[in-house]
Structure formats: structure tokens, C-alpha cells
């Protein structure tokens, strides 16, 4: 288990924000039956969790910059450090009372992600990673799965919805991948998809149209768990390209090849 001062700061902030989210998640079911609906409530829950994270991290590391889902970019006095924060990854799941969502916090130093925390409040699963120190789930070291045959692999993907993404490209990619894998999944929380690849629950994952706060922590998680991650076209900078493809060395390579073929 990583017990560095930095990881302590990050996990303390995430756990504090999670208590707020768990309370709010308990209210979502009641809101489903209201005429107004839970949309405004969930937005408030999002913003509240983000504010808790920001205040805790600012206190512990004054001057660091922020890249946040709700509040955008906040420039600090330290240009070399940036927090990438998603206070509620899997908002649609949360909105519908589905217990699959997460808080994701990644720290970028001089252009490199050096620490990441992904916490699933509903299942009480804490994924952490620090550069050069490995990746862990609830104090247990994690590694990517060892399966090397795509026919045995379970691969997750993103799923573009109304008004978002290239539906035609996704259908071509899905057709290309589904004929080679043992199963496909769509969970609706990118940070947890990455964490699940890191701990071997999923063999691979790809998605387009992401943001840095969705994937910053997960990128490091994959690498520290012995996996390979690129953008969906095989490039070396998924954080900038805002797309991902990942798995162990062989699954990642074959997945990228299939995606490239589908893209043409």
C-alpha cells in the first residue's frame, strides 16, 4: 500500500467528498418520483463534491492548478502541478439510482500524471496509484489480466448517445471488435472502466470523446498495474487526444489494430 504524504492528501480529500455523494445518492430514489426530476439535484451534488475536493486539496497543496468538470480550469501560482478532478464520474448512473459511479483525482506534474485516486463509494473500493510505486485496490497490489487471446477477453467501451460522438464510427468499431472478443460491456463510468482493466476485471477498454478529468488517474493506474494505454488510434498521449485504448501488451495491440481497421 502506498503511504506517501501525497497519497494521504489525495485519499483524505476523496473520502471526505465521498461522504457527501453517498448521502446524496441515498436521496436520488425519492427524487425519481417527483415531477421536477432529479437532474438539478444531481448537478448540485456534483458541484458540492467538487468544492469539497478543491478546498481540501488547496489547503494541503496551496498554489496547485485545477482542471475540473464543473468549474473548468483554475490557474494557481504553481504552473507545474495540476489536479484533474471528476467529482462524479458516471453521472447518468447516479441520476438513475445505479450504484456504479466514482470520484477520480489525478495529479499532473510537468506534463506527466504522477498520482491517481479512483474511489467507488457504492462498493467502497479505493484504487490508488503513484508513479513508480505500483497500483492498489483496498491495500492489495493489482495487475492487469494475463489473458492473451482476444477470444477469451471481455472488453468495455464507451457508447455515444444523442448529441454526442461519432455514431457511425462507433458502430464500425463495435462491429470490428465484437467479432473477435469473448464479451463486451458498457458500464457508463470511464474512470472505473480504467480501474477495472488495471485490476484484471476487464481485459481491455476503449472510448472516444473523453476529458482529462475522466482519465488522468486511470492512465497512471493502467501503467502502474503493468498495462499499456494509448489514445484510441495508438498514439502516445491519451490525455491530450481525449481517447483511450488499453489492456495488457497483447490485448492492447490487437484492440488498437481492430480500431484502426474500422476507422479506415
Distance of CA 108 to the CA centre of its chain: 15
Is 224 assigned to a binding site?
no
Angle 46-238-132 from CA coordinates, rounded to 5°: 90
Q: How far is it, in rounded angstroms, from Cα 2 to Cα 139?
A: 8
**Contact (CB, 8 A) for 20 and 45:** yes
pTM to 2 decimal places: 0.94
Q: Which strand (E) or helix (H) includes residue 159?
A: none
How does pLDDT run across 64-101, given as a tens digit for each residue? 999 998 889 999 999 899 999 999 999 889 888 899 99
Mean of the pLDDT values across residues 231-256?
Answer: 97
Is 214 assigned to a binding site?
yes
CATH topology of domain 150-263: D-Maltodextrin-Binding Protein; domain 2 (3.40.190)
How does pLDDT run across 45-58, given as a tens digit for each residue? 889 999 999 999 99
Is 88 assigned to a binding site?
yes
CA dihedral 67, 241, 193, 189 (to 10 degrees): 50
Number of Cβ atoms within 10 Å of the Cβ of 218: 33
DSSP lists the bridge partners of residue 85 as: 68, 105
* More confident call, 216 vs 159: 216
> Domain 5-141 is classified in which CATH homologous superfamily?
Fructose-1,6-Bisphosphatase, subunit A, domain 1 (3.30.540.10)
Is 110 assigned to a binding site?
no
Measured CA to CA in angstroms, residue 5 lies from 19, 60, 69, 207, 225 at distances of 22, 10, 25, 33, 21
How does pLDDT run across 149-189, given as a tens digit for each residue? 999 999 999 998 888 889 999 999 999 999 999 999 999 99
Return the domain boundaries, the chain.
5-141, 150-263
Q: How far is it, in rounded angstroms, from Cα 115 to Cα 181?
A: 32
Is 40 assigned to a binding site?
no
Domains 5-141 and 150-263 share a fold: no
Amino acid at each position: 500500500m502506498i503511504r506517501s504524504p501525497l497519497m494521504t492528501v489525495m485519499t483524505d480529500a476523496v473520502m471526505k467528498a465521498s461522504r457527501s455523494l453517498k448521502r446524496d445518492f441515498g436521496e436520488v430514489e425519492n427524487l425519481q418520483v417527483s415531477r421536477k426530476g432529479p437532474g438539478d439535484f444531481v448537478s448540485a451534488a456534483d458541484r458540492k463534491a467538487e468544492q469539497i475536493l478543491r478546498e481540501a486539496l488547496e489547503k494541503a497543496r496551496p498554489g496547485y492548478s485545477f482542471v475540473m468538470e464543473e468549474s473548468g480550469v483554475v490557474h494557481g501560482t504553481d504552473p507545474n502541478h495540476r489536479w484533474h478532478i471528476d467529482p462524479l464520474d458516471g453521472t447518468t448512473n447516479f441520476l438513475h439510482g445505479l450504484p456504479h459511479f466514482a470520484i477520480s483525482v489525478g495529479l499532473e506534474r510537468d506534463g506527466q500524471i504522477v498520482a491517481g485516486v479512483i474511489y467507488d463509494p457504492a462498493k467502497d473500493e479505493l484504487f490508488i496509484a503513484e508513479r513508480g510505486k505500483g497500483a492498489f485496490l483496498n491495500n492489495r497490489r493489482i495487475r492487469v489480466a494475463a489473458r492473451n487471446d482476444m477470444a477469451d477477453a471481455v472488453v468495455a467501451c464507451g457508447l455515444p448517445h444523442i448529441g454526442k460522438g461519432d455514431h457511425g464510427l462507433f458502430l464500425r468499431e463495435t462491429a470490428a471488435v465484437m467479432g473477435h472478443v469473448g464479451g463486451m460491456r458498457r458500464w457508463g463510468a470511464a474512470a472505473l472502466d480504467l480501474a477495472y482493466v488495471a485490476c484484471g476485471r476487464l481485459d481491455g477498454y476503449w472510448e472516444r470523446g473523453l476529458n482529462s478529468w475522466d482519465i488522468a488517474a486511470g492512465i497512471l493506474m493502467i501503467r502502474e498495474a503493468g498495462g499499456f494505454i494509448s489514445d484510441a488510434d495508438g498514439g502516445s498521449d491519451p490525455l491530450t487526444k481525449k481517447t483511450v485504448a488499453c489492456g495488457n501488451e497483447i490485448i492492447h495491440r490487437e484492440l488498437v489494430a481492430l480500431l484502426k481497421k474500422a476507422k479506415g
